[in-house]
Amino acid sequence: MYRDGANYKQFGSVVFNNSSGLSIDEVSEVIRKKLISEEFFVPKEWGIPTLYAAPYNPEYDHEWHEFEGLEETIEAPSHPRDILEILKD
């Protein structure tokens, strides 16, 4: 989720392949350890799309996004990288 300087929220998700069969708990634990205060991240640093609403104003807005959680899905991956690659970076 992205919350801009005026507290407007934009929600989104990314679907990764999980070829290693890691559990939700395993992936979530590693991700949370890599986040800012176990909650925030800058998508560009993780190689995933941002959720900025237009217009983005760097004077008031910021780059931090909020990690809300993980869930399994049968949807096709929307990102070319495997979750294991994301966790290793």
One digit per residue, pLDDT tens: the chain, 89 residues? 999 888 889 999 999 999 999 999 999 999 999 999 999 999 999 999 999 877 777 887 889 999 999 999 999 999 999 999 999 88
pLDDT computed for residue 60 by the predictor: 79
The pTM is what?
Answer: 0.85
- Between CA 56 and CA 4 the distance in angstroms is 8
> For residue 8, what pLDDT is reported?
86
User: Length of the chain in residues, anyone?
Assistant: 89
Q: pLDDT value at position 89? A: 82
Domain boundaries, the chain: 1-89
Q: What are phi and psi of 36, to 5 degrees?
A: -80, 120
List all residues 6 or more positions away from 42 whose beta carbon is below 8 Å from its beta carbon.
63, 64, 65
Angstrom distance (rounded) from CA 47 to CA 26 = 20
